[in-house]
C-alpha cells in the first residue's frame, strides 16, 4: 500500500497519493458518521483540511487540493499570463496544455493543421515557451483533443483534476473526478492556493442489464439528458453504479461522463472496475492498474449503503438508440419515434452532413464499430449519401486506425478525415455545402448542438447521436432512417438490412502512438525565454496590479449603473472577442458593452460625468483611468452570473475600477473580483439600489477596518442635495482581505513567497 507510483509515464515528479487520500477519507467518514459515495471519497480525500472543513452536500464550500490541471489552448493563454504575473518559478501542481481549439476544418487533416500552425503561430509559440519555462507539459497542435489525451495519458482512478474546458469530466471514464473550471481556478491550483467548490449533491444513476445491437454508451447519456434536462445535473455529481457499469468499456464510460456536462453536472464518475484495468494496461499503465486494485475496496468504490441525494435507474437491456436535438441536447427522441417526430416538427429530413469523432466519441471502439457498418454498406456497393467527416480524438487513435484499416474504410466510403482537433465541434468549420440561412440537418457524435455552434448557421438543425447511428444516417442520408427496422437498397437492387455494429474495445495489437507530439519541459529552465511579441494584438504580458494605497476611496464616479440581468456575457462578451483572450488591453474594449445603462436604457452608452460626453463604456472607463480617477459600477441582482470567465473580473481592474456594488452577486464572479483586488460589495438593503443616480459620486470609507462580517460604509454625494450613507455588506474572509490589500490574490502569493 505504500508503493510510490507515478501518475503517468511522462512525468517523473508526479505521484499517486492514495495513502494520504484514504487517511483523509477515514477522518471525514468518522466525522460524518455515515458511509460515503465514491465521488465523496474522491472529493474528501483531496480536502485541504479534512479535520476542520464544513461538509454538507449542496451547502458548504470545500477547499480542495486537486492532483493536476489540464488547459486547452484558448483558455490557457490568460491562465498562464496571470500565473506569470505572480512571479513564481514554476507551477505548484502538474499542468498540461493542449492545442486543440484553434484548428479550423476546411479540407482535411494535414492541410488544415498546417494552415492553423501558421495562423496561430504567436499563440502556439507563447504556450510552448511558457510551458517550457514553468514546467508544464505541452501538447502541440495535431496531438489531439485535450480530453482524449488526458484519458490516454494522465487520468487515473481516484484522482481529482481540474481542466479549463467544460468537457473535462470525460476522464470520469477512468474513475476520477475531473471538473471543468474557468481560468481563475486553474491559476489558483497552479500557484498553490486551495481550490474552492461548493460541495456537490450526488445523483446516483443505477445501471442494470446489458446493452445490445445498435445501442451504445452514448445512448445512456442521451436518454439521461432527456430525463434530467440541461439543468438537471446543476450542482451535482453524477455517480454511476449497479451491475450495468461493468458491461462496457472505459472509453464508453468516458463518453457518458463527457456528455454529463450537457445536463449541467459538476462532473460524472464510474467506480474503478475491470474495464478501467484493461484500458490502463492497454495504454501501458499496468502499475497504476495494479495499484488501483490494492485500493479498490477502501478508496476506489462507494461504501456499502451510501446514500445518494436522488437515484435514477436505467435498464440497459431495453435501452434503444437516441437522437437528441435539434438546438438542445436534452430533446431526446428514441430512434423508433424519429420518423413521426421529425415530420411532425417539420425538421429537414435530408441529412446533409454526418460527423463522427470529437472528444466525446472517438475511441478505438467507436471507430471500429462505425467502420464495421461502413464495410457492410460498402459490400452492398453503397457510398455515403451525406458528407461524412471523421475527427480522430488523438494522434494515437489516428495512427492506430490507420494501421488497422478503419481509416482506409472511411476514406474509401467518401469520408473526410479531419485534423486531430476540435474542428466543427467548436465552430472551427469552413462549411461550404450550404449558405448561411439555409435550413438543413446535420447529425454528429459530438456533445453540444446549441444553435449555430457547429457552422455559425442558426438554421442548421444539429442532432447528436452515437457514432454508429450517425454513420447509418450518413449512409441513408435521411433523418428518418432506423437501421434496426429499415432496409436499404444495394447496388444490385436488392433490399438489405445493415448488420448491427461490432468492434473491439481495445486494439488487439496495442495502440500505435503515431507521431510524437509532446514537448516535455526541460530540466533546466533558467534560460528559457517566454515568447511574446510586443506588437502582438493577441497576447500581452500582464503587469501586477498596484496594491491598495491604504486610503479610503473618495468622490468616485459611477461608470455605469447597470439595469437588470448582467451576466458575464454582458460584462465580457465572447464571440469575436475570444481572439483577444490573451491580450487584456484589447479584450477590455468589450467591458460591459452588453450591459444596459439604467440612465438611458441603452447598451454601451454612458456619460462621462466630468465632460458630459456620451461614449462607450470601455472608452469612458479608460478616460477616467488615464486621469487617475477610480470608479465604481452599480449592479442589479445576481450580477456576473453565467460562465466563470475571469476576464469579467480582470477587465474592470485593468480599467481602474475600485468597487462593484450590487444587489447580489453570482458567487464565482464575486470571488473572481476579489482575486483581482477589487471590492465586490452588496447593498444591505437592496432597495438602496434605487436611491443611486448615475451622476452621484461615491465614497467608500473606513476601509482600514475592513473585517469579515463587518459592514462597509458608502457615502453617496448626489449632484444636488445632501450626502447620505448607505450600508453595504460583503463576503470577504481574512485571507481575501489580504488579497484586496496586496492588489490581487497573485500579488499576495508573491509577497508570501518572497518573505
**Residue whose C-alpha cell is 508503493:** 3
Stretch that binds ligand F3S, among 199-207, 309-317, 419-427, 599-607 (CB under 6 A): 419-427
Q: Between residues 215 and 391, which has the closer beta carbon with respect to ligand F3S?
A: 391
**Of 143-151, 497-505, 621-629, 673-681: span binding ligand F3S (CB under 6 A):** 143-151
- Comparing CB distances to ligand F3S, the nearer of 146 and 373 is 146
Of 257, 359, 371, 475, which one interacts with ligand F3S (CB under 6 A)? 359
Rule CB under 6 A: say whether 355 interacts with ligand F3S: no
- Is 669 a residue that touches ligand F3S (CB under 6 A)? no
Instruction: Give me the helix-helix angle, 745-754 and 73-85, nearest 10°.
Output: 50
User: Please, which residue, 180 or 501, has the CB nearer to ligand F3S?
Assistant: 180
Stretch that binds ligand F3S, among 268-276, 301-309, 369-377, 421-429 (CB under 6 A): 421-429
Tell me the three state secondary structure of residue 82.
Answer: helix
| Least CB distance to ligand F3S at residue 682 (A) | 36
CB of 413: closest distance to ligand F3S in angstroms? Answer: 23
| DSSP state, residue 59 | T
Q: 309: burial class by Cβ within 10 Å (0-12, 13-18, 19+)?
A: middle
- Cβ distance to ligand F3S smaller for residue 95 or 319: 95
Closest distance to ligand F3S from the beta carbon of 163 (Å):
9
- Single out the residue of 36, 64, 132, 145 in contact with ligand F3S (rule: CB under 6 A): 145
Query: Residue 144 is placed in which grid cell?
Result: 489531439
- Provide the minimum distance between the beta carbon of 531 and ligand F3S in the complex, in angstroms, as a whole number: 25
Minimum CB separation of residue 449 from ligand F3S in Å reads 11
Q: How far apart are CA 445 and CA 358, in angstroms?
A: 7
Identify which range of 88-96, 140-148, 179-187, 573-581 contacts ligand F3S by CB under 6 A: 140-148
Q: Which is nearer to ligand F3S, 78 or 649 (CB)?
A: 78
Tell me: does residue 167 bind ligand F3S (CB under 6 A): yes
Q: Output the smallest distance, CB 754 to ligand F3S, in A.
A: 38
Q: Which is nearer to ligand F3S, 167 or 352 (CB)?
A: 167
Positions 398 through 417 that interact with ligand F3S (CB under 6 A): none
Q: CB-wise, 328 or 447, nearer to ligand F3S?
A: 447
What span, in angstroms and rounded, lies between the C-alpha atoms of 17 and 6? 9
What amino acid positions are annotated as catalytic residues?
100-101, 165, 448, 643, 645
Q: What angle do CA 135, 138, 142 make, to 5 degrees?
A: 175
- Our finding on whether 267 is near ligand F3S (CB under 6 A) is no
CB of 17 to ligand F3S, least distance (A): 27
**Residue 422 binds ligand F3S, judged by CB under 6 A:** yes
672 burial type by CB count under 10 A (0-12 exposed, 13-18 middle, 19+ buried): buried
**Hey, is 686 helix, strand or coil?**
helix
Q: Does 426 bind ligand F3S (CB under 6 A)?
A: yes
Interacting span for ligand F3S (CB under 6 A) from 234-242, 420-428, 559-567, 725-733: 420-428
Which member of 425, 556, 559, 726 binds ligand F3S (CB under 6 A)? 425
d(CA 692, CA 358): 50
Site for ligand F3S in 711-750 (CB under 6 A): none
Q: 630 with 622: CB under 8 angstroms?
A: no
Q: Report strand pairing: 724-729 vs 712-717.
A: antiparallel
Site for ligand F3S, residues 85 to 114, rule: CB under 6 A? 100
Closer Cβ to ligand F3S, 359 or 417, answer by number: 359
DSSP string computed for 447-508: S--BTTTTTS-TTEEEEE--HHHHHHHHHHTBTT--TTT--EE-TTS-EE-PPPP---SS-T
Map residues 434-473 to x or -, x wherever contact with ligand F3S holds by CB under 6 A: ------------xx--------------------------
Among 116, 146, 314, 531, binds ligand F3S (CB under 6 A): 146
Cα distance between the two ends of the chain = 38
Residue 8 Cβ, how far from ligand F3S at the closest point, in Å? 20
CA–CA distance, 483 with 347 (Å, rounded to integer) = 19
* Interface size with ligand F3S, residues (CB under 6 A): 13
Q: Looking at beta carbons, which pairs linking 650-654 to residues 24 or more positions away fall under 8 Å? A: 650/78, 650/82, 650/584, 650/676, 651/571, 651/572, 651/584, 651/587, 651/588, 651/590, 651/591, 651/618, 652/591, 652/621, 652/676, 652/678, 653/545, 653/677, 653/678, 653/744, 654/545, 654/584, 654/585, 654/588
Across the strands, what pairs with 30? none
250 near ligand F3S, judged by CB under 6 A: no
Nearest to 545 by CA among 641, 635, 673: 673
Contact (Cβ atoms closer than 8 angstroms) between residue 593 and residue 566: no
Return the residue of 73, 112, 165, 646 that touches ligand F3S, per CB under 6 A: 165
Among all chains, which residue has been given the C-alpha cell 468616485?
556
Chain residues in the site for ligand F3S (CB under 6 A): 100, 145-147, 165, 167, 358-359, 422, 425-426, 446-447
Amino acid at each position: 500500500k505504500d508503493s510510490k507510483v507515478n501518475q503517468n509515464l511522462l512525468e517523473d515528479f508526479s505521484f499517486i497519493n492514495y495513502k494520504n487520500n484514504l487517511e483523509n477519507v477515514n477522518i471525514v467518514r468518522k466525522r460524518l458518521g455515515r458511509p460515503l459515495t465514491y465521488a465523496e471519497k474522491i472529493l474528501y480525500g483531496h480536502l485541504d483540511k479534512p479535520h476542520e472543513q464544513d461538509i454538507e452536500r449542496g451547502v458548504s464550500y470545500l477547499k480542495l487540493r486537486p492532483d493536476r490541471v489540464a488547459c486547452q489552448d484558448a483558455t490557457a493563454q490568460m491562465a498562464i499570463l496571470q500565473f506569470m504575473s505572480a512571479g513564481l518559478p514554476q507551477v505548484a501542481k502538474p499542468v498540461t496544455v493542449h492545442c486543440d481549439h484553434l484548428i479550423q476544418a476546411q479540407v482535411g487533416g494535414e492541410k488544415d493543421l498546417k494552415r492553423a500552425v501558421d495562423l496561430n503561430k504567436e499563440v502556439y509559440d507563447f504556450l510552448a515557451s511558457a510551458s517550457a519555462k514553468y514546467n508544464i507539459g505541452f501538447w502541440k497542435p495535431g496531438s489531439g483533443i485535450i480530453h482524449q489525451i488526458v484519458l490516454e495519458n494522465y487520468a487515473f482512478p481516484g484522482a481529482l483534476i481540474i481542466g479549463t474546458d467544460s468537457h473535462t469530466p470525460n476522464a470520469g471514464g477512468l474513475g476520477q473526478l475531473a471538473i471543468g473550471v474557468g481560468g481563475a481556478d486553474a491559476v489558483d491550483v497552479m500557484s498553490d492556493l486551495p481550490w474552492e467548490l461548493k460541495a456537490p449533491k450526488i445523483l446516483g444513476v443505477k445501471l442494470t442489464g446489458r446493452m445490445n445491437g445498435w445501442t451504445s454508451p452514448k445512448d445512456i447519456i442521451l436518454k439521461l439528458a432527456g430525463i434530467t434536462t440541461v439543468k438537471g445535473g446543476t450542482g451535482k455529481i453524477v455517480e454511476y453504479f449497479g451491475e450495468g457499469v461493468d458491461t462496457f468499456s472505459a472509453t464508453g464510460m468516458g463518453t457518458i461522463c463527457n456528455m454529463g456536462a450537457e445536463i449541467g453536472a459538476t462532473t460524472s464518475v464510474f467506480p474503478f472496475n475491470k474495464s478501467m484495468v484493461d484500458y490502463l494496461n492497454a495504454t501501458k499503465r499496468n502499475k497504476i492498474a495494479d495499484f488501483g486494485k490494492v485500493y479498490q475496496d477502501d478508496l476506489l468504490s462507494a461504501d456499502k449503503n451510501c446514500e445518494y441525494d436522488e437515484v435514477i435507474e436505467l435498464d440497459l437491456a431495453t435501452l434503444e438508440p437516441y437522437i437528441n436535438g435539434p438546438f438542445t441536447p436534452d430533446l431526446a427522441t428514441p430512434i423508433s419515434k424519429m420518423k413521426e417526430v421529425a415530420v411532425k416538427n417539420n425538421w429537414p429530413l435530408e441529412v446533409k452532413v454526418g460527423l463522427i469523432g470529437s472528444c466525446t466519441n472517438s475511441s478505438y471502439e467507436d471507430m471500429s464499430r462505425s467502420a464495421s457498418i461502413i464495410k457492410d454498406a460498402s459490400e452492398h456497393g453503397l457510398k455515403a449519401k451525406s458528407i461524412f467527416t471523421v475527427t480522430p480524438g488523438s494522434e494515437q487513435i489516428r495512427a492506430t486506425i490507420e494501421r488497422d484499416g478503419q481509416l482506409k474504410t472511411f476514406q474509401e466510403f467518401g469520408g473526410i478525415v479531419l485534423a486531430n482537433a476540435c474542428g466543427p465541434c467548436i465552430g472551427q468549420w469552413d462549411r461550404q455545402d450550404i449558405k448561411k440561412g439555409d435550413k438543413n440537418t446535420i447529425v454528429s457524435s459530438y456533445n453540444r448542438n446549441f444553435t449555430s455552434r457547429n457552422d455559425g448557421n442558426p438554421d442548421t438543425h444539429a442532432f447528436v447521436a452515437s457514432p454508429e447511428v450517425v454513420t447509418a444516417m450518413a449512409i441513408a442520408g435521411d433523418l428518418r432512417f432506423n437501421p434496426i427496422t429499415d432496409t436499404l437498397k444495394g447496388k444490385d437492387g436488392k433490399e438489405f438490412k445493415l448488420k448491427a455494429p461490432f468492434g473491439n474495445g481495445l486494439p488487439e495489437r496495442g495502440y500505435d502512438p503515431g507521431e510524437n507530439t509532446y514537448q516535455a519541459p526541460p530540466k533546466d529552465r533558467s534560460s528559457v525565454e517566454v515568447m511574446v511579441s510586443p506588437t502582438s494584438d493577441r497576447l500581452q504580458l500582464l503587469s501586477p496590479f498596484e496594491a491598495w494605497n491604504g486610503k479610503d476611496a473618495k468622490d468616485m464616479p459611477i461608470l455605469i449603473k447597470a439595469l437588470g440581468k448582467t451576466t458575464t456575457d454582458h460584462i465580457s462578451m465572447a464571440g469575436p472577442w475570444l481572439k483577444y483572450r490573451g491580450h487584456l488591453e484589447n479584450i477590455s474594449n468589450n467591458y460591459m458593452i452588453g450591459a444596459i445603462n439604467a440612465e438611458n436604457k441603452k447598451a454601451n452608452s454612458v456619460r462621462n460625468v466630468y465632460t458630459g460626453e456620451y461614449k462607450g463604456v470601455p472608452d469612458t472607463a479608460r478616460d477616467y483611468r488615464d486621469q487617475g480617477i477610480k470608479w465604481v459600477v452599480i449592479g442589479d441582482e445576481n450580477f456576473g452570473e453565467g460562465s466563470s470567465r475571469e476576464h469579467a473580473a480582470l477587465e474592470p481592474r485593468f480599467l481602474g475600477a475600485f468597487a462593484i456594488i450590487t444587489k447580489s452577486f453570482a458567487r464565482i464572479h464575486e470571488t473572481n473580483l476579489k482575486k483581482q483586488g477589487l471590492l465586490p460589495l452588496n447593498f444591505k438593503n437592496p432597495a438602496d439600489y434605487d436611491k443611486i443616480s448615475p451622476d452621484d459620486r461615491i465614497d467608500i470609507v473606513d476601509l482600514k477596518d475592513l473585517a469579515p462580517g463587518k459592514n462597509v460604509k458608502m457615502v453617496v454625494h448626489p449632484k444636488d442635495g445632501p450626502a447620505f450613507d448607505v450600508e453595504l455588506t460583503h463576503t470577504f474572509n481574512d485571507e481575501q482581505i489580504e488579497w484586496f490589500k496586496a492588489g490581487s490574490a497573485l500579488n499576495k502569493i508573491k509577497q508570501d513567497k518572497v518573505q
